[in-house]
Structure 1
């Protein structure tokens, strides 16, 4: 069954085309299907490696180091180099241009203007008359030479024309002879070989090549459908053999067991651990307080009880005895 979309009108095909098409398509389909399946598998593997391995590695090994190098290496270095270039080159160059080259340029321009005026005067007053005289002399000498050499030149031209006619005649005859020799010995055999051998063989090879190319395209498309069906079958098989049992085991067995372990074992153990921790902290606090008290008792037994420091009267009253503006105990309102 031909799955290709046929055009509305097709030119009549010969028996050779029809005889070649079916075997070629069968052979090509058998050869192309494994190649297309392997190709689709490699494409899927390549996309997985690109998205999962190569792209993160590219970011970690290339992009981030380049960003860090650009941000913390190249940019500060470029700013430093720019500042040094400005300090060491731009500012001295501007000073040199403003205070050295500009005055020197004005002086050179003034000198050139004066020299140009002198040269213009020399050209107009000296060189132009001399040139006119030399041109008049050369014109006279040319007229004399032309009067002398004209007959000689005409004779030489007549002889050259005769020699050229003779050479042209000889060359034409030799060319015609070579043309017919080449035509008889080379062109006619080559033409016969082209017309009666190469053209039929080329037509047959063109038909075979076109059919092979069409068969490759047809087989590649059919192999794509077959590869897609095989991939979907394998994906479904993997799902029902591995994914669905794992999901069922996780949902039906592991989740209830995990909840039971969490409620029956882990939570009581955690509560017991917290209780033990609280008891341990309380015991440690009690032991620490007992050690502190024993140390204080031992110090009193050796050095005696320490005298309490007598309270010293403070300058400012505390509590309710603090001074206020409305109180009669202030210095301003005291009677």
Structure 2
């Protein structure tokens, strides 16, 4: 026979608390006396409105209102055309268009039968001969009167321009600037030939003498001095310093460095041996006892404390669930949760038994 380990009241629907019962009764009374009548009246109004729309308003609109609106629209459109469109169409078609065509025919006939012949006669017998006579008079006046006058005026203006603008500058250049320029050029040539050229030759000869008899010997002396200083002083001193540095490195610094390297290696080996010894001593004196204490003392004590903590927490959870059920009742359906294993128990809340494992087997 299977045992039911659920708490009492779970799943049977009869675990309501006292607080829930006190609140639920007034709510049910208010719902029956207020909400239910209002909902019934609302549903009746909705059903009546739908029936009225379906059986009265829709047929009335389809068979009466819509045809009436269409007839009123056609009548209004016809009235608007009669008042605003047809009078202007009749005026344009039966008055303005015939009058315009008659005026156009009259104007075209007057132009073809009156204005065109009169214009041709006026052009042929009046305007063209008059224009020819005026052109002949103009050519004669231009050739025999205006051309000599223009030539005379042009010659006067040319002479005046030459007198005022050209001849003074030509005279200034010919009798003033050209002689002065030739005199200045002759003076410059004389200064160059008899002053600047001898002075330049003298300066060049002086510079050549200074370079040959002063700067060149001094430069050669300085070069010989630098060469002698390098050959007989700097080079021997440099060779001596190099030989001394080579000997110092070969016979002093390199042996000292080798000795220091050997001593560093020996010291490293000694320090490594001491460190290994210290590690072995620490492992023997500290590590192994600490591991034994942790494995055989602290671990069992921790497991015992953890089991006690779990047991106390499960007890507190059960007490809290009991108080909640007493105050608020139990929900109709609640998923079954597996309880934690207590100290010394080997089965969970389900039907599957847990394996029996002792503390020593778990540690081993």
Which of these two proteins has the greater Rg computed from alpha carbons? 2
The answer to whether the superposition gives a TM-score over 0.5 is: no
Provide the TM-score with structure 1 as the length reference.
Answer: 0.35
Greater length-normalized contact order (CA 8 Å, ≥ 6 residues apart): 2
